[in-house]
Amino acid sequence: MNTLHNYHTHTHYSDGSSAPVEYIEEAVRQGFSALGFSEHSVLPFENTFALKPGSEAAYTSEIRKLRETFSDRIEVLLALEADYIPTLSTGFEKLKQSLGLDYIIGSVHLVGNSYPDNLWFIDGPKRETYDEGLKQFYNGDIRKAVTAYWHQINSMLENESFAIIGHLDKIKMHNQGRWFREDEKWYASLVNETLALIAEKEVIVEVNTRGIYKGRSDSLFPGETILRIIHERNIPVTISSDAHQPSEISLLFGQAEEMLKKCGIRSVSRYNHGIWSEVGIV
């Protein structure tokens, strides 16, 4: 790639390990042109991964100061990974405007709506949490559960404004070949419906390497099948590591680039002083 950049980064303000400056110093050392910080947005219930209520000012202030400090070496960007939960999450555009963000990554980690106790957590390190939620909320009906996930993504695309969609097919992470196959007709139909919406809304798809380097997935989010359709539909992509530690900021970027080229994709989206443009993959 002509330039290194990562737009999906978590620090100790949410569920990352370290202070923002440590990520920037590592990015400078690796020759990055840009690093975007994207803490998990505040949620209206207790959790272990999102920004704590009232911490937004400290987070945004620190990133802005670091942007000035490192302005001659790297472009530092201020963003959020905003969780979309119908009736519970804050509107993305309101977040962007009130906090003065450069962009928002829209993601679904919790499937459901209305009440925190009714949410199926599909992420995190424990496969048991996924399985328990599947049984509790969907009576073990994986097709119903997975359909709810993809339909919630569709609702996010239809009702919110954001630049990047995060780890598009993360619903597969704890499946690990047990409950459904990605080549099943019903699953492919859900994927195609969502990709049509993504193309219509002109949202960038994040190609996320974290599942592989954490040993929780055999493929990228999204995987090869979806990436081939993304190429056919001319949907823009960007590579991210979803870093939670400074050492993770560029993990498996080379592998991701090779997969993109294998699928016919020859460029990625880059944010440069307020404008998204395409840069070629070497």
Buried b or exposed e, range 131-146, using 16+ CB within 10 angstroms = eebbeebbeeeeeebb
Sole residue written with tokens 């569709």: 154
Distance CA 226, CA 224 (A): 5
pLDDT of residue 3: 73
pLDDT of residue 282: 77
CATH number of the domain encompassing residue 243: 3.20.20.140
Count of domains observed in the chain = 1
Low-confidence ranges of the chain (pLDDT < 50): 1-2
Question: Are β-strands 267-272 and 164-165 bridged in parallel, bridged antiparallel, or unpaired?
Answer: unpaired
Phi, psi of 159 (to 5 degrees): -115, -10
- Gyration radius (Cα) of the chain, Å: 18
Q: Answer for the pair 233, 191: CB distance below 8 angstroms, yes or no.
A: no
pLDDT of residue 1: 43
DSSP 98: H
pLDDT of residue 76: 98
Domain assignment of residue 104, given as a range: 4-280
